[in-house]
Amino acid sequence: MPEELRELVRRALAHPHLSAALTRFSEDYRMSRARAYKGIDFEALRERIAARKAAAAEHLEELAARFAAAASARGAHVVRLDAPGDVHDYILRVARRRGARLVVKAKSMATEEIHLNAALAHAGIEVKETDLGEWIVQLARQRPSHMVLPAIHLTRADVARLFSRETGQTLEAEIPQLVRVAREQLREKFLRADIGITGANIAVAETGSLVLCTNEGNARLVSTLPPVHIAVVGLEKLVERFEDIEPILAALPRSATAQQITSYVSILTGPAEAAGGGPKEMHIILYGHRRAAMAADPVFREALQCIRCASCLNVCPVYRLVGGHVFGRVYTGAIGTVLTAWTEGWEASRGLEQLCIQCGACRDACPARIDLPELILEVRRRAAHAVTPPLAGRAAFVLIGNRRAFHAALRAAALAQKPFTEGPYLRHLPLFFTEAGKNRRLPALAAEPFRDRFPRIGQPRSARRVALFAGCLIDFVYPEIGEAIVRILNRAGLEVLFPEAQTCCGAPARFSGAPEAALANIRDNVEALPGDGAEAVVSACPTCTVALQSDAARVAQECGDAALAGRAARLAEKVVDFSTFVHRLAAEGSLRLPSGADLPAVTYHDSCHLKRTLHAAQPPRELLQSCGYALREMQESDVCCGMGGSYSLKMPEVSAAMLARKLRMIAATEAAGVAVDCPGCLMQIRGGCAAAGAPTRVRHTAEWLASLLGPAH
């Protein structure tokens, strides 16, 4: 990550109120959004939107032509332009012809993208943003930090200062008064403006209609009062049919601001009557730029489904710490990371893709069902190819890709660490060998890895066998979790196999944009698993489970190895996460777990992959409760703990802030223990508790359950 971005992150984290304001917002948003969607089948709704928008993305130019024909027939001037400079020139030509001196604007991301205000100002034309947030940001000479709430990073005191400077009055930091001042100041501009410029939320090809949503009513004034209306519309706003408005209109306000509907929705089809009588002069610029290239890209076409609701920002645990001036350029957050790579190039956006912790919260929230984490990984992969990775980084992935060398290195490190182990300063294993691990304390590797301890475990023989996939953390750092799993499965009458040729699941390499190393891991694991007669492959690390269950076959396919992809897909069918599997054993009666008396209350932390990819939030909770643990839910139990694999190494400050918050949530429950299903989360949270001197016991669900089985023999 470029040092300047790192510096911006540090500054944002040190900002006196930025994180606090954004975090309060995201907490409120989570609840109010849920209320706004009450009674609505969100999955069905976003399925409809995704289908309509995906169909549109496949036929962008065709829809643009249909839109142009329909809107022209109604009397609008429609042009299809690509270069930002061409859009500037077109608008300036209109402005010169009209002798325009003042332009009023409603909020439009497309005009932000082409830096239209600067171009107009350069030509001597006064431009006024009229959305309150945009106007504030304009007065502050900044760019919006959020697509829907542009000035969320500023306080009322900041606004009072800006307005005082603009009006020459001394204004108090009192919000109703500031809003009144904005109304008065801008009203005069509305009435005097020569041209009104808007964007559009939706553009309907079959009718040539534009849909504009605002709460303030400024788009109505901008499109009604001046004699000329120019709409700058990104091609991604196109949908085919008038009826496609409906699902988007149902989702956009709910996802953007948790409203049922915005105060105003205007649907413009050709020029309406102008304020001075007679038809208005209406220009519609269908703006393409890199969108055509995105539409032609089989992976990134999906990003054109975006309806610009900004929910991916609102639910992002990183965005709420650093804000949009750090996490993005014109477009911010998850979708901003993807769009910036396209609109400004891989070089300009370099590093943004590293801010994503891959927790998947945005994928769950996206009303257009865009797989944002996956697109960001693709940005990472392509960015990695665009720039030569540092040598140490590459060497590390060669090492991770070679199981024997990798495991030998881990064993050597376990010996070498001895003089240095102090406290639980532990980090994700494979990445420990990369550049990111430099200058950090060695992870406290177990003196004896699980693979060496396993043969000594006395197991009953059984016809029912399962293979255990340990993953690096359980194998080399937390072998006791592996032993707990074996005990539980043995109690269900299962014999556990540990195929020794298993290696890293491939996720660290894949997440770092090194698919070749991931492919080597997949090859080894497909060779080693499931093992002799095993009915299932059980993994107690959700990241590994997802890597084996869904990513392995995809990576193999993407790397062009169809045979390996087929084998990986067959293996995937047998892979199951620990809690789901044990819950199933209990449900079918093969496993009876003892229930303890006077057990401590525990709180449960949902790991990202278990909750959002494997959808297994309930099984561990039910298992714990069935054994007699009282469950005390923490607030935002499913918000990422900040571990994120190598993330905690690459972005230690962000990771630490996320962890600090998680620890506060845990402390607030006053539970004696924390249960997690992911050894990565366990490492992060246990380390955090220890560093904070908290007595809280942090254990894997398997350990909480196994502890009721009595002492191990």
Stretch that binds another protein, among 174-182, 347-355, 450-458, 499-507 (CB under 8 A): 174-182
Q: Which is nearer to another protein, 240 or 638 (CB)?
A: 240
Residue numbers 48-107 binding another protein by CB under 8 A: 74
User: Binding to another protein by residue 186, rule CB under 8 A?
Assistant: yes
Which 3 state secondary structure label does DSSP give 617? coil
Scanning the structure block, which residue is given the tokens 């859009």? 87
SS3 content of the chain, % helix, strand, coil (to 5): 55, 10, 35
Cβ neighbours of residue 678 closer than 8 Å, sequence gap 6 or more: 541, 542, 543, 607, 609, 610, 643
Q: What is the DSSP string of 228-242?
A: EEEEEEEGGGEES-G
Binding residue count for another protein, defined by CB under 8 A = 62
Contact status: 202 vs another protein (CB under 8 A) = no
Separation of alpha carbons 574 and 291, rounded Å = 41
Q: Return the structure tokens found at 405.
A: 């060398």
Binding mask 230-249 for another protein (x = CB under 8 A): ------------xx-xx--x
> Does 187 sit near another protein (CB under 8 A)?
yes
Separation between Cα atoms, residue 235 and residue 245, nearest integer Å: 15
CB of 58 to another protein, least distance (A): 24
Q: How far apart are the first and last CA of the chain?
A: 49
DSSP for 92-154 reads HHHHHHHT--EEEE---HHHHHTTHHHHHHHTT-EEEE-SHHHHHHHHTT---SSSS-TTTTS
Instruction: Examine residue 406 and tell whether it contacts another protein (CB under 8 A).
Output: no
Please give the single-letter amino acid code of residue 569: A
The least distance separating another protein from the CB of residue 147, rounded to whole angstroms, comes to: 13
- From 145-153, 310-318, 638-646, 661-669, span contacting another protein (CB under 8 A): 145-153
Q: Is residue 23 a contact residue for another protein (CB under 8 A)? A: no
Residue 406 CB, nearest approach to another protein (Å): 49
Interacting residue with another protein among 94, 127, 133, 610 (CB under 8 A): 133
Per CB under 8 A, the segment of 213-221, 368-376, 622-630, 703-711 that binds another protein is 213-221
Minimum distance, C-beta of residue 154 to another protein, in the bound complex (Å): 8
> Interface with another protein includes 190 (CB under 8 A)?
yes
Q: Which of 200, 255, 231 is nearest to 40 (CA)?
A: 255
Shorter beta-carbon distance to another protein: residue 106 or 522? 106
Q: Which is nearer to another protein, 194 or 551 (CB)?
A: 194
- With CA atoms as reference, report the closest residue to 708 among 578, 589, 596, 630: 596
Which of these segments, 119-127, 259-267, 341-349, 651-659, binds another protein (CB under 8 A)? Answer: 259-267
Binding to another protein (CB under 8 A) within 600-639 occurs at: none
User: Is position 140 an interface residue for another protein (rule: CB under 8 A)?
Assistant: no
Three-state DSSP class for 460?
coil
Rounded to 5 degrees, what are φ and ψ at 500? -70, -20
Question: Cα separation of 543 and 551, whole Å?
Answer: 10
Label the pairing between strands 534-539 and 575-577. Answer: parallel
**Chosen residue from 215, 462, 625, 637 binding another protein by CB under 8 A:** 215
d(CA 100, CA 105): 14
Interacting residue with another protein among 118, 175, 412, 562 (CB under 8 A): 175
Asked if 268 is part of the footprint of another protein (rule: CB under 8 A), the reply reads yes
Nearer to another protein, 187 or 404 (CB): 187
CB of 166 to another protein, least distance (A): 15
**201 C-beta neighbours (distance < 10 Å), count:** 26
- What three-state secondary structure class fits 344? coil
C-beta of residue 52 within 8 angstroms of C-beta of residue 368: no
Residue 191 in contact with another protein, rule: CB under 8 A? yes
* Vertex 541 angle, CA 536 and 543, to 5°: 105
Q: Minimal distance in Å, beta carbon 513 to another protein?
A: 37
Q: Is the peptide bond prior to 652 cis by the omega test (within 30 degrees of 0)?
A: no
Site for another protein contains 165 (CB under 8 A): no
Order of strands, sheet of 77-81, starting from the edge strand that comes earlier in the sequence: 77-81, 281-287, 228-234, 195-198, 102-105, 126-129
652-669 and 679-692 are packed helices; what angle lies between their axes, rounded to 10 degrees?
80
Stretch that binds another protein, among 204-212, 563-571, 636-644, 687-695 (CB under 8 A): 204-212
* 75: exposed, middle or buried (Cβ count in 10 Å: 0-12, 13-18, 19+): middle
Binding segment toward another protein, per CB under 8 A, in 192-200, 272-280, 334-342, 367-375: 272-280
Which of 50, 149, 197, 534 contacts another protein by CB under 8 A?
149
The residue within the footprint of another protein, chosen from 19, 111, 117, 218 (CB under 8 A), is: 218
DSSP 3-state assignment of 41?
A: coil
- Nearer Cβ to another protein (119/268): 268
| Three-state SS at 288 | coil
Q: Which of these segments, 274-282, 342-350, 446-454, 691-699, binds another protein (CB under 8 A)? A: 274-282
Hey, which residues between 421 and 460 contact another protein (CB under 8 A)?
Answer: none
Eight-class DSSP state of 698: E
Smallest separation, CB 224 to another protein (Å): 5
Using CB under 8 A, which of the segments 20-28, 385-393, 480-488, 654-662 binds another protein? Answer: 20-28
- Of the candidate residues 272, 292, 413, 599, the single one contacting another protein (CB under 8 A): 272
Q: Judged by CB under 8 A, does residue 16 bind another protein?
A: no
Among 34, 89, 122, 263, binds another protein (CB under 8 A): 263
State the Cα–Cα distance between residues 458 and 487, nearest whole angstrom.
10
- Tell me the HSE value of 155 on the side-chain side, using a 13 A CA sphere: 11
Question: Would you count residue 217 as binding another protein (CB under 8 A)?
Answer: yes
Q: Are 398 and 514 in contact (CB under 8 A)?
A: no
Taking the complex as a whole, how short is the minimal distance between the CB of residue 379 and another protein, in angstroms?
A: 30
Q: For residue 469, give the 3-state DSSP assignment.
A: strand
Please report, as ranges, the residues that interact with another protein according to CB under 8 A: 21, 25, 28, 74, 130-133, 136, 149-152, 154-156, 159, 175-176, 178-179, 182-183, 186-187, 190-191, 204, 207, 209, 215-218, 220-221, 224-225, 242-243, 245-246, 249, 257, 260-277
